[in-house]
Structure 1
Amino acid sequence: MRRILLATLFFIPATGFGQHAIFGQITDARDGTPLIGATAVITDLRRGTAADMDGMYVIDNLPSGSFLVEFKYAGYESRVELVRVEGRTEHNVKLTPAVTELNEIVVTGISHSTELKRSPIPVTTISPESLLERTGSNIVDKIAGHPGIGQITTGAGISKPVIRGLGFNRVIVLYDGIRQEGQQWGDEHGLEIDEFSVNRVEIIKGAGSLMYGSDGLGGIISLLAPHPVPEGVIEGQWTSNYQSNNGLFANSLSVGGNKNGVYWMAHATRKDARSYRNRYDGYVFNSGFNELDLGATLGMSGNWGFTQVHATSFNQNLGLPEGERDVEGNFLRQVAVGDQIKERAATHDELRDYSLYIPNQSVRHLRIASNTNYYRGESRIQLDLGYQHNGRKEFGNVLDEDEEELQFDLHTTTWNLIYHLPPVKDLRLSVGTSGAFQKNLGGGEEFLIPDHRTFDWGVFAFAKWHHKTLDVGGGLRFDRRRVNADPLYLDGEGTPSDNPSDYQKFSGGSPAFSNYSASLGITEAVSSALTLKLNVSRGFRAPSVTELYSNGRHEGSLQYEYGNPGLDAEKSFQLDFGLNLQTDHVTVEAALFRNLISDYIYLRKLVGSDGRDSIPDPDEPVPAYAYTQGDARLAGAELTVDIHPHPFDWLHFENTFSTVHALNVSERTSDSTRYLPFIPAPAYRGQLRANLNVMGRRVFNSFVMLEFRYTWEQNRVLLENGTETPTPSYSIWNAAAGTSIRKRNAQDALLSIYLSLENIFDTAYQDHLSRLKYAPENPVTLRRGIFNMGRNFSVKVIVPLGGRVRGDG
């Protein structure tokens, strides 16, 4: 099997290496008690293990070199230590009870794993525990709400991430180091990633990273899969979740094993949800969805490094609520009566069942990728390869429900090759190249964007220098993108034609864009409690094919879009200042940022000659928008204050606040045009939490939490031609509790239970970034749009599964 796997990945035979290992004991710093089950993880090698009944751990068959090792145990402060591994290396660790957790390892956007508080790039982490405790329909629901992180939503099933007011193609999403490519330009195109396959999240805010291409002006969201299980173990986990508001049933099973350095993992998830409801709208017709996800990983590790191949299949079907109502305020459903299309009110059963109605969309995303890290002495070669096939279909004809109104077929190949040079004293240097080739073909009865091919290529260098209390990191990157878009002619029946005298839907073209990006960051540990950070970055983003050439509307969208072939690339300059303070009684994280973007691309609503909305297609009367650009300035602040009064360290009062102010500098003379569209409103979150780590012999890792969220009115909007409207303020109360139960006379958990009640008082509200806010007006209440989800009770049960590999003793 080893030879087959290595040959598949074109890997270099691992010869000429000695046997190296790290071992030791993990104990309580107060009394020397062994910490049974404490973990030791080498992130760069994706290797780890758990301590035995005596607190002893061992990670063997390692390459020689210096590695950051993270030692963790629930309720204790993690230790991150640089360990020189040469032969059999003993390294004992003492952990102290934790107040809060800031000492973590991050891997995104830098050449080597780095302590979070010492990273020269602005990084936020979301732990596995936080992901488990949060309630949501998808992975973006679980990360939104952290300072500076928002989401653009279309009901409960579709969410797109926003970082400091920037989203869509300005945010790069990684899954295990590979860029996610799935038509992310679309309003109603969510992430094609199984939330249960994500173990941890790292978020870079701004264009500080140079490793992943030129589009990340807003930042990077890195979704990390679980590490392989320890040697000689087979273990798994079953997760089941029910949510009352939309009747969501989610079940996920994951399992993995490791034997003689060959490891494997597999997971499967199924979700079903009906339409969600709120106080004002009742059940929102056709807002349900269903999902089936599969994934598998096969890899091997040794004293030469590691290599792995993983494949995932994401399959989702979603209803697309349009919000049309009758004179009594009931949601309308289109039905076929003979060869005619009629409208009638959705029935009681249709509002509450798990069926999907017209319009709806189907998403299929296949992903095959490999990650290889090959060590030779103190140097390392990293190779990441990926192939993705994204198929997306939209259905909107009740006379023929299988007729594809829109079809997108996207094939993407990506590569990332990095050489990490041997360190020279305190300096580490990495050089690399990355790129992507895309081919996107359209189909169906309508056409929104032209068929096209895109080629990206870039080279970069990144260096990191550490000296005592000072860390400096920076680099330079050059990118080039070429787009080849095909022209499209339609005959009188709307069928594609080769006749240039027919109606030209798309003009086509072959524009090319190139520029450089740069980043420089400094971190200074002023004391053991206080760390200061400063980062300056320059970013670059070429316009997408949608922004250049779109001409049409999505079946599930509420607008008709016109592209602009004359758009220039966006260029950004961002300054970011950060502060971390950790004392016995309080932990503070603060950030100030200022982002200047020249040639910022955005949508502006069009008006007709009569001063009303421009309606290109009277048969589908939605307003028209066109892409334009101007210079933008975004500035904001983020603050987290966690009060944990000693000696009541189990009690936390965490407060977070974030705000972003976005101006269109090119048109700031007029109140109707001075603000950028679709910027999240200022938000505050206050959370009172009690961590009850031990409650008897069999109950542990318990917590109870009460949370208050307040979102201010967003009145800094692009008013011109009614592009967007102000959004009122709102407040929401949430509560949650959870615990784990041990097996009798054992340290392992038998099961874990998480309960939550979100929007306790069933507040009716509209988030400013909800696309359904612009659905048609209810003729009875005169309220425009559809409101967000109301009260929602969630119960989640997690059952660990584990054992030894057969024949391992």
Structure 2
Amino acid sequence: MISRYILGLILLLTIHISFAQSSLELKGKVHEDSGEPLQAIVSIHELGKYTVADPDGNFSFKGLNEGVYHLHITHMGFRSYSKNVSVTQQRSELYIILKPSDILMDAMTVEANPFKNGPLEQSQTILIVDREFINKNNGGTFANSIEKLPGISTINTGVGISKPVIRGMSFNRIVVNDRGIKQEGQQWGADHGLEIDPFDVDRVEIIKGPASLMYGSDGMAGVINISPAGFMQNNEIELNYSGFYRSNNDMYSNSLALDGNEGDFVFRGRLTTQDYADYKIPADRFSYAGFILPIYENRLKNTAGKERHFSLMGGVQKKWGYSTITVSRFAQNAGIFVGAVGIPNSYNLRSDGDFRNIDIPNQDNSHLKVIWNNSIQIGKSWMEVDLGYQKNQREENSFPHNQGVGQTDFGNLALGLDLDVYTANLRFNKQHNEKTQSIIGFNAQKSINQKSGFEFLLPDFSSFQGGLFYFGEYKALSNLVFNAGLRLDGASHDIQEHLQPLYQNGRPTGELDQRNPDIERSFGNFSGSAGMSWVFMENFNLKFNFGSAFRIPTPIELATNGIHHGNFRHEVGNANLDGERSYQFDWNLAYSKPKFLITFSPFWGYFDQYIYLAPAPRFSPLPGASLLWEYRQDNAIFSGFELMSQFNPIKNLSFSLALEYVHSQNLNTGLPLPLTPPFSSLLGVEYKLPEFSGPIGEIFLFAEYRSVSAQERVDRNERITPGYHLLEMGLGWDLKVRNQAFKFQLSGQNLTNEVYFNHLSRYRLLNLPEQGRNISLSLNIPVSLR
């Protein structure tokens, strides 16, 4: 019903604005302090249009309606520039001066808000990376590609399955937006990866800290915005090939994309395949429940996988905005280490001689998305509407007898989860005057989950949640900006009772065990935030943000009661959980010069009735399980900091340093919260070889050294993890042959083949170390077809 009303509104507004306004032109000139012109890239964000200034620095956009537009101007070796511009009948020319900078991060424009009109939320700590960063740090999954950013960690289950962590928090405390729609795909599970094709990501904006105001209840810890590439210019068509290889698990990745613009019609398509074998670890044995078990040929049996992804986009780009529809599907079939389901023994760990086959147990995941994005001009203001449908299907297969179950009607399907999600977002942005702009909007989401399989973890449920918000920004001075907003959230969960058949010696007893009763819960509350951004003494930028967020308990937290094999534990929900409230402070101080940048970002947050999964002081009564873990609520504090710096002492030479630390404290038990990442530092150096510039392209060398401290601050029954050190080195080569570009990169990870444990890895519970030495090779070839 909501979708119908929004669709009708879009059609009426489109008809109105198509005939209402005349065509205007926006002209300007870009140059540096000395007056020298720059051939900068200039883009209008709302329209998805861009152009390149001519050799004299001149640029223009024709066929515009009267209104307010947000410009982005970027040029290599200069700080990025953004500006709100009012286009009227009185034609005026812009004169834009770019300031020089050797710092790569200065070349990225900040646009971290769901409505992409203006630099809102400037008071928060925001990290931005582009496709070049993702390609350079490709770890096989999208989450692994961003974990080198300070404050970002990952929870891994072997290789190919990972999910992001922001400042020690993950799961339903992080919103991942893909093309404006919140990704929904069983993100409550540590072994449920983020189902995003890493090759289908062009730009990522990461908001660290409370972001529930415009993104909803799940944005308590932060938001990851994933954006596609901007539209091609008119009559341009480009074909792009990306290839990737990793030696440790013999991973082969191939991705082919076609991107074009024919008149007012824009289109894009991508197809990605990824296949990998059992991965290698620098160990030949591991311990489980007091037993020492073998690892044959240093390969972890049944950790191979294959992936097939595609996305298709088509739409129109007009002077009133744009409208596009994207259909994408992420499909993954991955083996699960045999020791993760049931009790491992020397027999089932023995190699079968085929490192690429996917045996039982395994997981088969499919995530289909249909997204309709609209940016529409209404007078001098802009409205953005995003509608989405997602179908997430997850199947976990294992042998019934391994779980103490006899023959069932489900065959080897242990757990099936089928989730349908309908999403509607609407935001209206109004530029009141040169100093003030505001956003009003709402989000609505309907979720329906159905289960199958001979095991039980999560019952059938339907859920609805939505929110209304207002956000305003006031530019008190040219260097001082204030913002604030309020949000009202509501949700209801209808969770069905589940009766699980009981078995004895693999035979059904005819008795039923009530794993969870019928549960109907409703929640509602307010959220808010306020902040400021102050640029003083020209080179300093101080940001401060205070936010109070409200998080709604999820069905998994209320009603789960079964063995979660990916986590090697029996998890039990709590139907009486209350909503979670946080009060969070976030600071950011940046000092920037043309050759030096340093940012320091401390944070502190108090969480009232923090919901978490903690080990209980007793064992599970279910076969194949170990300790019992329960969802609880306690008051807690999260605090810490991130530090990031870059120094370019001479041309072509760059040093970088990133530090991150998270301190968690359970105020009720006096102990740390479980799964808190340890202190980590990442030191990097990069050098471009000037003597190779010219006809044979550009070559650069880089090295990174990560040092991770031991994590000794652990919860009750949680293991201490020793510290470790990792070395990565590589080289890249950007080559042109007859105007055809080629991009190569060769790199090596964990070059010392160190035996180490990731504190957040699910296989850490089995005393299994992470991957050993790994050599990676990537190739990118963009081909202009017109």
Q: TM-score, normalised by structure 2?
A: 0.90
2:471 to 462, 466, 474: 462
In structure 1, the residue matched to 2:451 is 442
Kindly indicate whether residue 371 of structure 2 is the aligned counterpart of residue 369 of structure 1. Answer: yes
In structure 2, the residue matched to 1:299 is 315
Kindly indicate whether residue 711 of structure 2 is the aligned counterpart of residue 714 of structure 1. Answer: yes
CA-CA distance at 1:77 after TM superposition: 3.4
Change (3 A) 1:7 1:313: farther
Written as runs of structure 1 = structure 2, the 5 A alignment for 1:363-442 is 363-397=365-399, 403-442=412-451
Q: Distance in 2 between matches of 1:623 and 1:21?
A: 68
Kindly indicate whether residue 780 of structure 2 is the aligned counterpart of residue 798 of structure 1. Answer: yes
Cα deviations by residue, 1:23-42 (Å, 9 ceiling, x for unpaired):
4565676684663xx42222
Contact 2:312 2:328 in 1 (8 A): yes
Kindly indicate whether residue 692 of structure 2 is the aligned counterpart of residue 690 of structure 1. Answer: no
2:608 to 594, 598, 608: 598
Kindly indicate whether residue 312 of structure 2 is the aligned counterpart of residue 315 of structure 1. Answer: no
Q: Distance in 1 between matches of 2:339 and 2:646?
A: 41
Contact 1:49 1:229 in 2 (8 A): no
For the residue of structure 2 that corresponds to 1:594, the secondary structure is: strand
CA-CA distance at 1:789 after TM superposition: 1.0
Kindly indicate whether residue 116 of structure 2 is the aligned counterpart of residue 106 of structure 1. Answer: no
Q: Which moved more, 1:205-214 or 1:564-573?
A: 205-214
Q: Which consecutive residues of structure 1, in runs of 5 or more, have no partner in the other structure?
A: 1-5, 334-342, 495-499, 609-613, 669-673, 776-784, 805-809
Written as runs of structure 1 = structure 2, the 5 A alignment for 1:345-364 is 345-347=349-351, 349-350=353-354, 353-364=355-366
Q: Distance in 1 between matches of 2:217 and 2:784?
A: 43
Cα deviations by residue, 1:674-713 (Å, 9 ceiling, x for unpaired):
1100000000011111245784323445421111100001
CA-CA distance at 1:465 after TM superposition: 1.0
Q: Distance in 1 between matches of 2:521 and 2:92?
A: 56
Kindly indicate whether residue 722 of structure 2 is the aligned counterpart of residue 728 of structure 1. Answer: yes
For the residue of structure 2 that corresponds to 1:697, the secondary structure is: coil
2:484 to 464, 468, 474: 474
Q: Distance in 2 between matches of 1:162 and 1:694?
A: 41
Q: Distance in 2 between matches of 1:665 and 1:699?
A: 61
* 2:383 aligned partner, one-letter code: I
CA-CA distance at 1:403 after TM superposition: 2.3
Change (3 A) 1:55 1:235: farther
Cα deviations by residue, 1:160-194 (Å, 9 ceiling, x for unpaired):
11100110011111011110000100111111111
In structure 2, the residue matched to 1:337 is none
Q: Distance in 2 between matches of 1:740 and 1:370?
A: 36
In structure 2, the residue matched to 1:781 is none
Q: Distance in 1 between matches of 2:242 and 2:54?
A: 26
For the residue of structure 2 that corresponds to 1:800, the secondary structure is: strand
CA-CA distance at 1:63 after TM superposition: 3.0
Q: Distance in 2 between matches of 1:458 and 1:443?
A: 31
Q: Which moved more, 1:51-60 or 1:67-76?
A: 51-60
Contact 2:68 2:381 in 1 (8 A): no
Written as runs of structure 1 = structure 2, the 5 A alignment for 1:754-765 is 754-765=745-756
Contact 1:632 1:665 in 2 (8 A): yes
Q: Distance in 2 between matches of 1:346 and 1:50?
A: 60
2:51 to 46, 49, 52: 49
Cα deviations by residue, 1:547-573 (Å, 9 ceiling, x for unpaired):
111011134330111111111111000
1:215 to 208, 215, 218: 218
Change (3 A) 1:175 1:546: same
In structure 2, the residue matched to 1:262 is 265
2:237 to 234, 237, 256: 234
* 2:351 aligned partner, one-letter code: T
In structure 1, the residue matched to 2:279 is 276
In structure 2, the residue matched to 1:253 is 256
Written as runs of structure 1 = structure 2, the 5 A alignment for 1:546-625 is 546-608=556-618, 614-618=619-623, 620-625=624-629
In structure 2, the residue matched to 1:527 is 537
Cα deviations by residue, 1:7-58 (Å, 9 ceiling, x for unpaired):
99746222122113334565676684663xx422222322223456776644
Q: Which moved more, 1:237-246 or 1:84-93?
A: 84-93
For the residue of structure 2 that corresponds to 1:774, the secondary structure is: helix
For the residue of structure 1 that corresponds to 2:574, the secondary structure is: coil
In structure 1, the residue matched to 2:758 is 767
Change (3 A) 1:763 1:63: farther
CA-CA distance at 1:128 after TM superposition: 2.4
Change (3 A) 1:86 1:803: farther
Change (3 A) 1:113 1:730: farther
* 1:61 aligned partner, one-letter code: G
Kindly indicate whether residue 182 of structure 2 is the aligned counterpart of residue 179 of structure 1. Answer: yes
For the residue of structure 2 that corresponds to 1:450, the secondary structure is: coil
Written as runs of structure 1 = structure 2, the 5 A alignment for 1:616-765 is 616-618=621-623, 620-645=624-649, 648-668=650-670, 674-692=671-689, 695-700=692-697, 702-718=699-715, 720=716, 722=717, 724-744=718-738, 746=739, 749-765=740-756
In structure 2, the residue matched to 1:497 is none
Contact 1:29 1:96 in 2 (8 A): yes
Contact 2:278 2:304 in 1 (8 A): yes
Q: Distance in 2 between matches of 1:55 and 1:247?
A: 48
Contact 1:250 1:272 in 2 (8 A): yes
Q: Distance in 1 between matches of 2:207 and 2:569?
A: 31
In structure 2, the residue matched to 1:83 is 85
In structure 1, the residue matched to 2:162 is 159
Q: Distance in 1 between matches of 2:32 and 2:433?
A: 36
CA-CA distance at 1:484 after TM superposition: 0.2
Q: Which moved more, 1:583-592 or 1:566-575?
A: 583-592
Q: Distance in 2 between matches of 1:146 and 1:34?
A: 31
* 2:240 aligned partner, one-letter code: Q
Q: Distance in 1 between matches of 2:543 and 2:641?
A: 14
CA-CA distance at 1:157 after TM superposition: 1.1
Kindly indicate whether residue 23 of structure 2 is the aligned counterpart of residue 19 of structure 1. Answer: yes
Q: Distance in 2 between matches of 1:273 and 1:318?
A: 9
Percent identity between matched residues is 29
CA-CA distance at 1:259 after TM superposition: 1.7
Cα deviations by residue, 1:261-306 (Å, 9 ceiling, x for unpaired):
2101111100001111121141111112111001011121212111
Aligned Cα root-mean-square deviation (Å): 2.6
Kindly indicate whether residue 508 of structure 2 is the aligned counterpart of residue 514 of structure 1. Answer: no
Q: Which consecutive residues of structure 2, in runs of 5 or more, have no partner in the other structure?
A: 1-6, 285-297, 402-406, 505-509
Written as runs of structure 1 = structure 2, the 5 A alignment for 1:109-124 is 109=113, 111-115=115-119, 119-124=122-127
Q: Distance in 2 between matches of 1:771 and 1:345?
A: 18
Q: Distance in 2 between matches of 1:453 and 1:374?
A: 32
For the residue of structure 2 that corresponds to 1:130, the secondary structure is: helix
1:144 to 147, 162, 166: 147
Change (3 A) 1:230 1:222: same
CA-CA distance at 1:108 after TM superposition: 2.6
Change (3 A) 1:106 1:372: same
Q: TM-score, normalised by structure 1?
A: 0.88
In structure 1, the residue matched to 2:288 is none
Change (3 A) 1:801 1:552: same
CA-CA distance at 1:575 after TM superposition: 0.5
